[in-house]
Structure formats: C-alpha cells, structure tokens
C-alpha cells in the first residue's frame, strides 16, 4: 500500500521566521517527488519538484533523503502569503508521466503577523 505521511499541523509561525516540515513515503521504488500548495477552498498547484541533489527556488528549498525515505520543504523569511496547506506528492513511476501519484494529506501552515 502506497503511503505518504505528513504532520497535519497547524504550524503557527511568525512572519519572517524559517519553517521546515517533512514528509515520509513508504514505497522505496518511488521515483519523483513534489510539493504542491493548496490555499483554502482552492485547487492544489505545483510549488516545486524535488530533485535528488536538493533544489532551491527563491525562499523555498526542497531536499530528498532516499535512504530514510523522506522529503523536506524549508521556507525562509516566511510571508503572510505563505499561509496554505502544503501537499507532499510522490510518483511511483519513472518517466511515466503523471501516473501513480500519491498525495499526502498536507501540512497546514499559518504565518502570523
């Protein structure tokens, strides 16, 4: 059974702080990994892909640890607009398009002024 586990939170973080949360996955054959963002009562949207070497996009850094089967998301200098639910997504297949996506239930982040 494919499982993607996340701490549901909420994480209450003051504006400007750094916040990090992890996601664990059960299927060691998983090939690709992503973070999606979902605002309240909105649809999920791709935030960033997660590469083996780790990758950064502005204030956001994603890391992958295959040995321990977890991925992480770090947000620096958090903004009020970062408040959302962050969904960890794992793709079991390699190069297979978007087949086999499994979503975590999400981590709820609240940035406080």
Partner 1 sequence: DAGVIQSPRHEVTEMGQEVTLRCKPISGHNSLFWYRQTMMRGLELLIYFNNNVPIDDSGMPEDRFSAKMPNASFSTLKIQPSEPRDSAVYFCASSLRTGAYNEQFFGPGTRLTVL
Binding mask 52-81 vs partner 1 (x if CB under 8 A, - otherwise)? ------------------------------
Q: State the pairing for strand pair 107-112/44-50.
A: unpaired
Nearer to partner 1, 66 or 105 (CB): 105
Q: Does 84 bind partner 1 (CB under 8 A)?
A: no
Q: State the pairing for strand pair 19-25/4-6.
A: antiparallel
Residue 34 bridge partners (DSSP): 49, 89
Binding mask 3-42 vs partner 1 (x if CB under 8 A, - otherwise)? -----------------------------x-x-------x
Least Å from the CB of residue 109 to partner 1:
16
Q: Does 103 bind partner 1 (CB under 8 A)?
A: yes
H helices within the chain, ranges in order? none
SS3 content of the chain, % helix, strand, coil (to 5): 5, 55, 45
């Amino acid at each position: 059974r494919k499982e993607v586990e996340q701490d549901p939170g909420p994480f209450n973080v003051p504006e400007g702080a750094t916040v990090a949360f992890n996601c664990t996955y059960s299927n060691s054959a998983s090939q690709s990994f992503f973070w999606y963002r979902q605002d309240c009562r909105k649809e999920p949207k791709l935030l960033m892909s997660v590469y083996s070497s780790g990758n950064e996009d502005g204030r956001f850094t994603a890391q992958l640890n295959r040995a321990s089967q977890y991925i992480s998301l770090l947000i620096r200098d958090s903004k009020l607009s970062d408040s959302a639910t962050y969904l960890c997504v794992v793709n079991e297949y390699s190069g297979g398009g978007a087949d086999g996506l499994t979503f975590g239930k999400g981590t709820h982040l609240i940035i406080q002024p």
